[in-house]
Amino acid sequence: MSSEALRAELRMLAVRSLLLDLAAYLISTLWIGFTASFAWGLLLGTALLFGTLLLLNISIVKMAEDAKRAGVTNQRRYVLFYALRLLLFAAGFGTALVLRAYISPVGTAIPMLYPRLIYTLGALIRRPDSQSGGKKR
pLDDT of residue 136: 47
Find the Cα–Cα–Cα–Cα dihedral 42, 87, 76, 5, rounded to 10°.
20
Query: Is the residue at 73 inside a domain?
Result: yes
Whether the CA torsion 21, 23, 25, 31 is positive or negative: it is: negative
Position 105 in a domain: yes
Number of domains in the chain: 1
Residue 12 domain flag: yes
Question: Is residue 133 included in any domain, yes or no?
Answer: no
127 in any annotated domain: no
Long-range interactions of 2-8: CB distance < 8 A, separation 24+: 6/57
Mean pLDDT of the chain: 85
The answer to whether residue 20 sits within a structural domain is: yes
> What confidence score (pLDDT) does residue 131 get?
54
Which pLDDT belongs to residue 7? Answer: 85
Question: Does residue 43 lie within any of the structural domains?
Answer: yes
C-alpha angle 31-38-33 in degrees, rounded to nearest 5: 30
How far is the C-alpha of 102 from the C-alpha of 15, rounded, in Å?
25
Helix segments in the chain, DSSP class H = 3-32, 36-70, 75-98, 105-109, 114-125
DSSP state of 16: H
Under-70 pLDDT residues of the chain: 1-2, 71-73, 127-137
Residue 126: predicted pLDDT: 78
Residue 84 pLDDT:
93
The pTM is what? 0.78
The whole-number pLDDT of residue 5 equals 81
